[in-house]
Amino acid sequence: MNYVSTRNTDHSVSLSDALQEGLAPDGGLYVPSAFPSIPPEAFEGCTTAEAIAERMLEPFFDGDVLAPEVPGIVSDMYGFSVPLKDVGAQTRVLELFHGPTAAFKDVGARFLASSLSRLNRSATEPLTILVATSGDTGAAVAAAFWKKPNVEVIVLYPKGRVSDRQEKQLTGWGANVQTIAVRGVFDDCQRLVKAAFQNDTWQNRKRLSSANSINIGRLLPQMTYYAVASLRVWRETGNEANFIVPSGNLGNALACVYARQSGLPIGEVVLATNANRPVTAFFESGEWEPMETVETLATAMDVGNPSNMERLRHLYPSVDALRSSITAARVTDEAIRQRIETGEDDWGEVWCPHTATAVDVREKLLTSSDDHPWVIVATAHPAKFDDIVEPLVGREVPVPEALAEVMERSRPAPEIPPSLDALADQVLDAQAPAA
């Protein structure tokens, strides 16, 4: 299996190279050169998440130096549960917040940490993971790579645009993890990452890689929990599962689409977005136009120029093909508040603001004649957004132990304006903070 750039399919690399480069030299994103066919029957005898993940990932590692290490990588990747809860009304909830940082990005980050640390065991200089985050990515990457040998991590986050608990989680590491607050929005952080990758000075000074969903190494492992959930629904009901995925930078949704493209029993895929309009506007007009970021309650989805739209448009070159395969719905802050407020009464669940967007979409799709199983993707633990959730549910939401431990180590992060020169001053021309 080779991986090609979305901007030049003649540029082809191995999986290991794609993981380490992060971004293709032409600025494109790496995608599989072809998708394998892995129908439900191929998972016969696979009953655990780890066994399903191994079977799912094997074709994507085919011919790569990491292929023999897939079982070990999968073991590192999981180690925590991924519950699929039946909440009635032909609806299940895929809980992706049981990892060490209480968000869905733990799976992808741990996959990358395991893969890249194995590839860099004997490298003469460390690999530098440069990552932009709208909240949860940075914490997951920091946790996964913390104190890993021969790898350093630089996390950029938009100051004032993440929850207080997210910020404490982002700044509770040290050692080989450096966190920097950018005076801007997530798109500014993402722009700085891409600019560094395409800058000769940075390339000469650092061995750069990324752990954002611009890295194919985030999407491949995230396919596995869609495999786990869809196979469970298939085995229980004989039907394909329809998924509603909270979507910002579109990496998680694309992983669901990639799983379906590979033969998993997945039906409809609905992107639940917040008030940021680039995705829904594209579906409506057929014209792609990045937009200014709008601040919402679902902060991790506040993205005006989602990177993975490039992968979606590569997979579906015409807007008609895209519309026939995926739908998208926009959810207001008012609707997010309402779904959180009524979540326990309506579903017996407390929702985070991001998951609430998917809940709103599901409630609008509810009909008495709908007998197809739907899966709401729950992307983060509600305790990470206590300032939003607790006033609406009228009580304190218990904090997961791992999250509390990291927050206790938090310390202020340096702040910079959103310029590559300022980032270079902080990273290239200064020593990282001591542990």
pLDDT per position as a tens digit, 332-380 = 999 999 999 999 999 999 999 999 999 999 999 987 667 899 999 999 9
In terms of C-beta density within 10 A (0-12 exposed, 13-18 middle, 19 or more buried), how is residue 245 classed?
Answer: buried
Strand partners, 246: 272
**Which tokens sit at 157?**
């986050």
* Cβ–Cβ under 8 Å, residues 412 and 131: no
Q: Tell me how far apart the alpha carbons of residues 109 and 271 are, in angstroms, rounded to a whole number.
A: 22
What's the pLDDT score for residue 86? 97
Structural domains in the chain, sorted by start: 71-104+216-393 (3.40.50.1100)
- Mean pLDDT on 107-117: 93
| pLDDT score of 150 | 87
pLDDT at 135: 72
pLDDT of residue 431: 52
Distances (CA, A) of 385 to 273, 341, 389: 18, 14, 6
Q: Reduced to 3 states, what is the DSSP secondary structure of residue 237?
A: helix
Confidence check: pLDDT of 134 > 60: yes
pLDDT tens column, 59-80: 999 999 999 999 999 999 998 9
Tell me how far apart the alpha carbons of residues 22 and 213 are, in angstroms, rounded to a whole number: 9
User: What average pLDDT does range 32-54 have in this prediction?
Assistant: 97
pLDDT at position 432:
44
Edge-to-edge strands of the sheet including 3-5? Answer: 8-13, 3-5, 30-32
pLDDT at 9 over 90: yes
Residue 224 has a CB neighbour count (10 Å cut-off) of: 27
Percent of the chain with pLDDT over 70: 98
Q: Answer yes or no: is pLDDT of 394 > 50.
A: yes
**CA 58, chain centre distance (Å):** 21
If pLDDT is split at 50, 70 and 90, which confidence band does 108 have? very high
What is the Cα–Cα distance from 304 to 295, expressed in whole angstroms? 10
**What is the DSSP secondary structure assignment for residue 433, as one 8-state letter?**
P
- d(CA 12, CA 17) in angstroms, rounded, equals 10
Mean pLDDT on 130-157? 88
Q: Which of 145-154, 197-206, 245-254, 403-412 has the lowest mean pLDDT?
A: 403-412
Position with higher pLDDT, 79 vs 258: 258
Asked whether the predicted pLDDT for residue 435 surpasses 60, the reply is no
pLDDT tens sequence across 167-189: 888 888 888 999 999 999 988 99
Whether 133 has a pLDDT exceeding 70, the answer reads: yes
E strand segments, 274-402: 327-330, 374-378
pLDDT at 368: 60
* C-alpha closest to that of 411 among 146, 184, 180, 134: 180
If we measure between CA atoms, which residue out of 336, 417, 354, 400 comes closest to residue 158?
417
Give the pLDDT confidence score for residue 369 in this predicted structure: 61
> What is the chain's mean pLDDT, rounded?
93
pLDDT at 175: 86
pLDDT at 430: 65
Contact 294, 302 (CB under 8 A): yes
Per the listing, tokens 């790579």 go with: 145
pLDDT, tens digit (0-9, with 9 covering 90-100), for 262-316: 999 999 999 999 999 999 999 999 999 999 989 999 988 999 999 999 999 999 9
**CB within 8 Å of 8: residues ≥ 6 apart:** 24, 26, 28
Residue 433 has pLDDT above 60, yes or no: no
